[in-house]
Amino acid sequence: MIYLVLIVVGIGSLIPFVWMLLTSVKDYGDVVSLNLWPWPPLGNSTPRFDNFAEAIRLTGVDRDTGLPLFFRHVLNTATVTAIVVASSVVTSVLAAYAFAQLQFPAKNALFILVLATFIIPEELILVPRAVMMNKNYLNWYNTLPAMVAPFLANAFGIFLIRQFFLQIPRDLYDAARIDGAGHMRYLTFVMVPLARPAIFTLALLEFIWTWNEFRWIQLVTSSSNMRTVSVGLVGFLQTDGGSQTQLAMAVAVMVVLPVVILYFFTQRYFTEGIATTGLKG
Amino acid sequence: MIVSRRGSARYRARARAAREALLAYGLLSPALLLFLAFTVFPIVFGLYISLHNWRLGPREFLGLGNYMRALSPDSEFWPSLGATLTYSLLAVPIQISIALTLAYLLFQKIRGKALFRVVMFLPWVTSTVATAAVWARLYSPDIGFINSLLKSLGLAPLRWLLEDKGLFTLIAGGLGITLPDWFRGPSLAMVAVVIYTTWVFVGYNMTLFLAGLGNIPGEMYEAAKIDGANGWQLFRRITWPLLSPTTFFVVLITVIGTLKAFNHIWVMTQGNNGTQTASILIYRQFYEFQRAGYASALAFLLSAVILMVTVLQNRVAAERVNY
């Protein structure tokens, strides 16, 4: 009985993904005629893998590189994601070490400040952040710095890593000191290797959050060659993808695929990371 | 001689403390400077913007004008707040009860548990924009999978995301009853968005509940079973009270999450058909009409609502949660 419920729910949960995959290789005619499985043995269409190439072609051409815009969007997304992951991991590890291991004036006040940045709704700062990027202020509008700036450090990462650092016994530090290691060497060669699971979890979560980011990028970019895949997908839905559902789904498959592959190889870190830290809906 | 040695020891300790503090500030500075520049400063700047008629820069000082406009009886803020709360009140109980049920089922000794968890968690991992685009097609009145399913079950197809009519109105209409307008219920489009939200977040919430269930000591159940407790009593008397910190936490983040919901609503309806939540309204005012001042004022009002709800929940939790 329990198995039946779980199997039905599990399959139901996968239906949108399956439908997306099937639709992405259909003929337009089969989409419109609601044919769920138009291929042998039930039908006589052939799977149209050309849809992917067709969809990529329809996104247009990047005037800088001459490549299809979709590839430019992938490149932009990968660049933004790589910068954000690297920066948030480094800033989080450094700050977490200070909060976990060092004594200094105003420690509690600064920790509360970090906590506060975590609680503040993004809605509150969205507009002023975007205004800061325009030409009267930072003049970063439609550039890479604007795309990454709000995500370079985050309080979630500091908490996650600090929590892990606090579990490492202090004796280890005393031992390292006797061996002549200072704080930086201790952090690099003892704490960081020990905290690898937490750091990996943070990097993965940052990866998917940044890869999937939409609103901010849409707000601070205007030219098609600065978009990321999410923004590009929404644009595509409003143009050719709007009527050609199979092409829209082909793009959606390509947007989702890197994250899904990454997730299947690392899913343990996601569920464990979420379960131990909770946070962020 | 002894005195001077003590003095130098103290001096060295002080120097070490100063070096440690310096190192700490050095390590903290990248994160803190980024927070100051892109989180703390924007709050102050946002307040300043909200007091102006603001396009690319300040045009004129309005004082509380933007707030007055947002709070005036015929402003679009009130319906958007209504839509936000409707969304929250629908999504939170549905999402949480399903997640808790699944977690409870999964917590029994069951094979394929890990696989189920991986599958249920997948929607949360994948791009909201992409999956919302898929669901928008599933909901499509003509070529959507959901309507073709309804038809094959002999039911009438629906207009889903394009349907502005209230849920109760539609149900009553099907029964041949006409309802008064104030009893129309959430629009069908809103219901469709809530179904999507449930699909995205159930696996995530279930994972949190599973972690909470894992923290309940197994001896409690064994002791209760020896005393002859049945399944429902075990849940009601042991699981539910001991799980309450987790439940509170899940409810809290789900409520806050629903009050801020944006991406999927933007992709699925652009805020049409009764789904213009406060987040959507803020974004539209800024992105479509470049009204930075008015949008900032709306953002402060929404944040005030989120803060009030959070404080309220903490009050309730202080009385009801067993730690």
Question: Which residues on chain A are in Cβ contact (under 8 Å) with B142?
Answer: 32
Query: Would you say residue B258 lies in a domain?
Result: yes
Compute how many other C-beta atoms are within 10 angstroms of the C-beta atom of residue A115: 12
Q: Are residues B81 and B30 in the same domain?
A: no
| pLDDT tops 60 at residue A281 | no
Report CB contact under 8 Å: A125, B38: yes
Q: How far apart are the C-alpha atoms of A100 and B159, rounded to whole Å? A: 55
The pLDDT of residue B323 is 56
In this predicted structure, what is the pLDDT of residue A158? 95
Q: Which CATH class is domain A84-224+257-277?
A: mainly alpha
Please check whether residues B38 and B156 belong to one and the same domain: no
A2 contacts in B (CB within 8 Å)?
Answer: 105, 108, 110
- Name the residue facing A122 among B31, B133, B260 (closest C-beta): B260
What integer pLDDT is reported at residue B193 of this predicted model? 97
List CB contacts of B33: < 8 A, sequence separation 6 or more: none
3-state helix, strand, coil in chain A (%, to 5): 75, 0, 25
The tokens describing A34, both together, are: 């609601």
pLDDT of residue A280: 42
Nearest 5°: CA angle at B266, between B120 and A237? 90
Q: How confident is the model at residue A275 (pLDDT cuts 50, 70, 90)?
A: low
State whether B34 and B96 are in the same domain. Answer: no
**pLDDT (tens digit, 9 = 90+) per residue, A159-204?**
999 989 998 998 999 999 898 889 999 999 999 999 998 999 999 9
User: CA-nearest residue of chain A to B50?
Assistant: A128
> Can you name the residues that pair with A242 across neighbouring β-strands?
none
Query: pLDDT at residue B301 above 50?
Result: yes
Q: What is the pLDDT of residue A279?
A: 47
Contact between B274 and B187 (Cβ < 8 Å): yes
State yes or no: pLDDT of B66 exceeds 50.
Answer: yes
Q: Has residue B83 been placed in a domain?
A: yes
* Whether the predicted pLDDT of A10 surpasses 60: yes
Whether B3 has a pLDDT exceeding 80, the answer reads no
**Are A212 and B127 in contact (CB < 8 Å)?**
yes
Please check whether residue A132 touches B, CB under 8 A: yes
Distance CA B55, CA A131 (A): 9
Is B238:B225 a contact under the CB 8 Å cutoff?
no
B22 lies in the same domain as B109: no
Q: What Rg do the C-alpha atoms of chain B give, in angstroms?
A: 26
Q: What's the pLDDT at A190?
A: 92
* CA nearest to B258, candidates A234, A278, A130, A121: A121
- Residue B229 included in any domain: yes
Question: What residue ranges in chain B does DSSP mark as E strands?
Answer: 52-54, 58-61
Query: How many percent of chain B have pLDDT more than 90?
Result: 67
Which CATH number characterizes residue B268's domain?
1.10.3720.10
Q: Does the N-terminal peptide bond of residue B73 adopt cis geometry, omega within 30 degrees of 0? A: no
Mean pLDDT of A218-222: 95
Domain definitions of chain A by residue range: 84-224+257-277
Tokens 């947007």 sit at which residue?
A: A255
| CB-closest option in A121, A155, A249 to B134 | A249
Task: Confirm whether B84 is domain-assigned.
Answer: yes
Taking contacts as CB-CB distances below 8 angstroms, the residues of chain A near B305 are none
Question: Nearest Cα to B201, choosing from B297, B93, B283?
Answer: B93
Same domain for B206 and B286, yes or no, is yes
- The answer to whether position B63 is within a domain reads no
> Angle, to 10 degrees, between the axis of helix A69-101 and the axis of helix A50-58?
90
Torsion of CA B250, B253, B259, B264, to 10 degrees: -90
Q: Are residues B41 and B167 in the same domain?
A: no
- Both B80 and B193 in one domain: the answer is yes
Q: Which is higher by pLDDT, A15 or B314?
A: A15
Q: Are B77 and B301 in contact (CB under 8 A)?
A: yes
Instruction: Fill in the DSSP letter of residue A190.
Output: I
The answer to whether the CB atoms of A126 and B282 lie below 8 A apart is yes
* Residue B313 within a domain: yes
Mutate to test the interface with A, among B38, B247, B262 (most CBs of A within 10 A): B38
The mean per-residue pLDDT over the stretch A89-97 comes to 98
Within-domain flag for B58: no
Touching check for A120 and chain B: CB below 8 Å?
A: yes
Q: Do A102 and B32 touch (CB under 8 A)?
A: no
Q: Residue B194's domain spans which residues?
A: 72-320
For the segment B299-310, the average pLDDT, to the nearest whole number, is 95
Burial of B54 (0-12, 13-18, 19+ CB in 10 A): buried
Contact between residue A254 and residue A70 where contact means Cβ atoms under 8 Å apart: yes
> pLDDT band at A49, cuts 50/70/90?
very high
Banded pLDDT at A137 (limits 50, 70, 90): very high
Residues B229 and B297 in one domain: yes
Q: What is the mean pLDDT of chain A?
A: 92
Residue B206 C-alpha from the chain's centroid: 15
Residues B99/B206, Cβ–Cβ less than 8 Å: yes
- B182, two tokens: 């104030």
DSSP B238-296: IIHHHHHHHHHHHHHHHHHHHHT--HHHHHHHTT-TT---HHHHHHHHHHTT--HHHHH
A vs B, Cβ pairs < 8 A, gives 260
- The helix/strand/coil state of B166 is strand
Q: Does residue B65 lie in a domain region?
A: no
Same domain, B120 and B217: yes
Give the integer Cα–Cα distance in Å for B75 and B79.
8
Task: Give the span between the Cα atoms of A54 and A236, in whole angstroms.
Answer: 13
Convert the pLDDT of each residue in B7-62 to its tens digit: 688 888 899 899 999 999 999 999 999 999 999 999 999 999 999 999 878 899 99
Q: Are residues B139 and B231 in the same domain?
A: yes
Among residues B236, B59, B199, the alpha carbon closest in space to that of B125 is found at B199
- Note whether B164 and B243 are same-domain residues: yes
Gap between the Cα atoms of A154 and A91, Å rounded: 8
What is the reported pTM? Answer: 0.92
CA distances from A7 to B101, B102, B145 (A): 14, 11, 20
Number of structural domains (chain B) is 2
One domain, residues B119 and B228: yes
Q: Which residues, other chains included, contact A121 with Cβ-Cβ below 8 Å and sequence gap of 6+?
A: B256, B260, B299, B302, B303, B306
